[in-house]
Amino acid sequence: MKTKPILRNAVLTAGLCLAAQAAWAAEVEPGFKSLFNGKDLTGWAGRPNHWSVQDGAITGITTSNNPAQGNNFLIAKDGDKNLVVDDFELRLSFKFTGDWGNSGIQYRSVDAGDFVVHGYQGDMEAGTNYTGILYEERGRGILALRGQKVVLKENPANPKKAKIEVAGSVGDSKEIQASIKAGDWNDYVIIAKGNHLQHFVNGRQTVDVTDEQASKAAKSGILALQVHQGLPMKVQFKNIRIKKL
């Protein structure tokens, strides 16, 4: 008996879906947990006018008709509560579409309400200077430039800021930039263990930070993804997975 076209198409579609799910599942390494199902924003919360899923990727978009009212964030959830992390390794891929874009990965951060977040940020941009740096959103500002190994200490002259001591280098910023693919997918890794923070982009370490400013250093907090105020932009994230250390 011949398979009816409708049934045959349904079987084919189901097979493709299962294959896609199997491929997605295979991308999660042993010991890691996926934070994104590849289909929708289950497990995340943010402003729906900026965040959606397109082409199997979490997508943050602002336009001239729908600008960001300040920086805002898509927050990882654990059921009804925010997901809280302490020591971890986070892996994901990101991509910007367009000539301008500014985003970041918030970690060990604080939910300030209305999808505004402050704390450590693994920075990224469509430009050529800041992808991979450590920035503290609504806090101490830039804590490590790309290629720097730094120690952060108390700053008696300005307790709200860190005294930044450059202790060495993890690489040349221009060489790191040369490995970043414009308009294409790039891999970002963040490792946080105790007060030691490390960022990697496409397998190259970008910063190494020891945060000894006890009054400001964060030991735990939430995870979130950023869309930045300013010019229209589009950023996407996929293959988001985490391992507790």
Distance CA 103, CA 33 (A): 23
Q: Over 70: is that where the pLDDT of 111 sits?
A: yes
- List, in sequence order, every residue forming a beta bridge with 60; answer none if it has no partner: 51, 235
β-pairing, 186-193 vs 88-96, is antiparallel
Q: Over 90: is that where the pLDDT of 17 sits?
A: no
Same-domain pairing of 182 and 220: yes
Same-domain pairing of 90 and 124: yes
- Indicate the number of domains in the chain: 2
Helices (H), the chain: 5-26, 173-178
Q: What confidence tier does 27 reach under pLDDT thresholds 50, 70, 90?
A: low
Alpha carbon of 53 to those of 28, 119, 227, 241: distances in Å? 19, 25, 14, 17
Distance CA 131, CA 111 (A): 23
Distance CA 160, CA 113 (A): 22
- Domain of residue 24 covers 1-30
User: What is residue 135's predicted lDDT score, i.e. its pLDDT?
Assistant: 98
pLDDT mean over 118-135: 98
User: What is residue 85's predicted lDDT score, i.e. its pLDDT?
Assistant: 98
Same-domain pairing of 238 and 140: yes
Same-domain pairing of 5 and 104: no
One DSSP character per residue, 213-229 reads -TTT--SSEEEEEEE-S
Q: Over 70: is that where the pLDDT of 24 sits?
A: no
pLDDT digits (tens, 9 = 90+) for 29-62: 999 999 999 999 999 999 999 999 999 999 999 9
Same-domain pairing of 24 and 108: no
Percent of the chain at pLDDT exceeding 70: 89
Same-domain pairing of 21 and 42: no
